[in-house]
Amino acid sequence: MFKKSSMSRRRLLYMGVSGLAGAIAVAVAKDRLPIYPSQAVNNLTRDFKVAGLTPLKGRATAKGLIYGAASGQDFLASDKTLQASIVRECGILVPENELKWQFLRPRPDVFDFSKSDWLAQFARTHKMLFRGHTLVWYEQLPEWFKEVVNRQNAEKFFVEHITTVTKRYAGQMHSWDVVNEAIEPDDGQKAGLRKSPWLEFLGPDYIELAYRLAAQADPKAMLVYNENALEYSGRKEEVKRTAVLKLLERLKSRGTPIHALGIQSHLVAQEGALNAKKLRSFLSDVASLGLKILITELDVSDQKLPLDPAVRDRIVASVYEDYLSVVLDEKAVIAVLNWGLSDRHTWLSTFTPRSDGAPVRPLPLDSSFKPKLAWNAMARAFDQARKR
């Protein structure tokens, strides 16, 4: 253990000249708490050591957990190294975009399953589970949607879409994100519901209807409600957690066939106001409804961290380990998926790029598919998790 005074000297030495600006940023940030939780402060005392070389899926399986990742079909089909990495590390695969309306529905009367079928086949060939994302979302609707869908025909499209898509993969899906991101208390709607075409055209019961349709077409799949921005301890997230819990309670009390909550977990390293107590109690409230929990889209944005990749990797890894050690304590958590596996393909490089232009490093493997400290952090969290 370092003493506090020598720790900051050691930290500067470790970071080198390129990390100096980062160190200053950390020091300044520390004064404006809550920013950078334990990861920045205790960073140098963490070794991220991992026993053995077992891939993540093996470590997860040993604890009764499922580990996997999302991938786009284009990337996967054209990149043998990505294929090998996914096959090595993942026990479950989820199409990043290919099962969304925008991709499946080029025209109102046409379904194009070519890319999602390719991914399903890839999963089958490599004995991976396959996961569906997502049947009902307010985003990534096709261009024609606005022109064609209205109050009169919305239910027809809704029923047809859910039934056709779930039937196509019936018996093959581990789980379906039936409804995605339906809560947004800032939208000012009843029960914290998000403004969406589905709410507008079908009313609040569209959520229940979606689960009933999916269960009818694919009675074997685990039906999940997937949501973002539930993890941190700000007021906004608090209100959202409460609204989500109420939604789940209502669905359960009406006998809706819903089996799990998906917590997306797009974490942001420079924020980090994670309140373990509040998160644990939310997870336990969800579990007490008889629902399982999946961590569905885990990544850690390093957008605003110091430039030095070594410094970023340590902080990102710390966020991974801190977060997973809290959520895996809850036995209802049965699966962890990253949103992408390697930094080569991540939505964050276009959605939240760094202002210095340096490539982002949010995932367990680097852009050459080599495990980073984030991989170690995940491996450690799985190794330390209780058995399911």
State which of residues 297, 302, 308, 366 lies at the interface with ligand 9MR (CB under 6 A).
Answer: 297
By beta-carbon proximity to ligand 9MR, the closer residue of 231 and 297 is 297
Q: Scanning residues 181 to 220, which ones bind ligand 9MR (CB under 6 A)? A: none
Question: Which residues sit opposite 295 in a β-bridge?
Answer: 263, 336
By beta-carbon proximity to ligand 9MR, the closer residue of 297 and 308 is 297
Q: Are strands 292-301 and 129-136 parallel, antiparallel or unpaired?
A: unpaired
Decide: 2 and 41 in contact? Cβ < 8 Å: no
DSSP state of 335: E
Closest CA to 46 of 5, 7, 6, 89: 7
Q: How far apart are CA 289 and CA 178, in angstroms?
A: 18
Q: What string marks each residue from 248 to 287 as x (binds ligand 9MR by CB under 6 A) or -?
A: ----------------x-----------------------
By beta-carbon proximity to ligand 9MR, the closer residue of 43 and 97 is 97
Task: Mark whether 297 is an active-site residue.
Answer: yes
Q: Does residue number 73 form part of the binding site for ligand 9MR (CB under 6 A)? A: no
Q: How far apart are CA 329 and CA 290, in angstroms?
A: 17
Q: How far apart are CA 338 and CA 347, in angstroms?
A: 12
CB 189, min distance to ligand 9MR, A:
20
Site size for ligand 9MR, by CB under 6 A? 9
By beta-carbon proximity to ligand 9MR, the closer residue of 134 and 166 is 134
Q: Does residue number 347 form part of the binding site for ligand 9MR (CB under 6 A)? A: yes
* Cα 297 from chain centroid (whole Å): 1
Q: Scanning residues 90 to 119, which ones bind ligand 9MR (CB under 6 A)? A: 96-97
Residue with tokens 């895996």: 328
Closest CA to 230 of 215, 213, 244: 244
CB 180, min distance to ligand 9MR, A:
6
CB 254, min distance to ligand 9MR, A:
26
CB 56, min distance to ligand 9MR, A:
20
By beta-carbon proximity to ligand 9MR, the closer residue of 264 and 376 is 264
CB 228, min distance to ligand 9MR, A:
6
Spatial neighbors of 245 by CB under 8 A, at least 6 apart, are: 282, 285, 286
Q: How far is CA 254 from CA 156, 207, 249, 259, in A?
A: 23, 12, 9, 13
CB 43, min distance to ligand 9MR, A:
27
CB 354, min distance to ligand 9MR, A:
17
Question: Which residues sit opposite 371 in a β-bridge?
Answer: 365
By beta-carbon proximity to ligand 9MR, the closer residue of 39 and 264 is 264
CB 224, min distance to ligand 9MR, A:
12
Tell whether the torsion through CA atoms of 92, 98, 100 and 105 is positive or negative. negative
State which of residues 6, 18, 78, 140 lies at the interface with ligand 9MR (CB under 6 A).
Answer: 140
Identify the active-site residue in 96, 98, 181, 231: 181
Decide: 247 and 227 in contact? Cβ < 8 Å: no
Identify the active-site residue in 96, 231, 271, 297: 297
State which of residues 228, 301, 338, 376 lies at the interface with ligand 9MR (CB under 6 A).
Answer: 228
Q: Does residue number 175 form part of the binding site for ligand 9MR (CB under 6 A)? A: no
Is residue 185 exposed (0-12), middle (13-18) or buried (19+ Cβ within 10 Å)? middle
By beta-carbon proximity to ligand 9MR, the closer residue of 36 and 347 is 347
Terminal Cα-to-Cα distance of the chain (whole angstroms): 34
What is the DSSP secondary-structure string of 133-166? EEEE-SSS--THHHHH--TTTHHHHHHHHHHHHH
State which of residues 13, 27, 28, 139 lies at the interface with ligand 9MR (CB under 6 A).
Answer: 139
Dihedral angle over CA of 372, 374, 378, 380, nearest 10: 80
Q: Which helix (H) or strand (E) holds 177?
A: strand 175-180
The residue number with the shortest CB distance to ligand 9MR is 347
Active site residues: 181, 297
Residues that bind ligand 9MR (CB under 6 A): 96-97, 139-140, 180, 228, 264, 297, 347
